[in-house]
Amino acid sequence: MEISDREFDEKVLSSEKPVLLEYWASWCPPCHTVKGVLKKLDGDDTGFRIVTVNVDRNLGYASKYNVKGVPCFMIFKQGELIHREVGARSEKQIRAMLTEHI
């Protein structure tokens, strides 16, 4: 699910479930590759809310969390950033990241 800065507090910081957030950009080829993986994971029962944010259209929280490269993955739990990785990841790598933080 794509969200904007307006929805960030509700969908990420106030989420009862842990959140996997991906910052992406339309000009980023690896981001487009990861999009299919995230869509598949969103359909599975991972225990995470999976959201994406277009960094070019939503600079507020991207600046707050110092996003300098995309794709940028962040895991939030109870409103706190607990993990961060930059760069494209395979489905296996993303699942491992989620399993580590469930």
Does the annotation mark 72 as catalytic?
Answer: no
pLDDT in tens, 43-93: 888 999 999 999 999 999 999 999 999 999 999 999 999 999 999 999 999
Q: Which of 13, 25, 28, 97 is catalytic?
A: 28
pLDDT in tens, 9-30: 999 999 999 999 999 999 999 9
Q: For residue 15, which of 82, 85, 90 has the smallest C-alpha distance?
A: 82
Q: Phi and psi (nearest 5°) for 85?
A: -145, 140
All structural domains of the chain, each given as residue ranges with its CATH number in brackets, are 5-101 (3.40.30.10)
DSSP 66: T
pLDDT in tens, 27-46: 999 999 999 999 999 888 89
Q: Read off the tokens for 59.
A: 């600079």
Q: Which of 31, 53, 62, 88 is catalytic?
A: 31
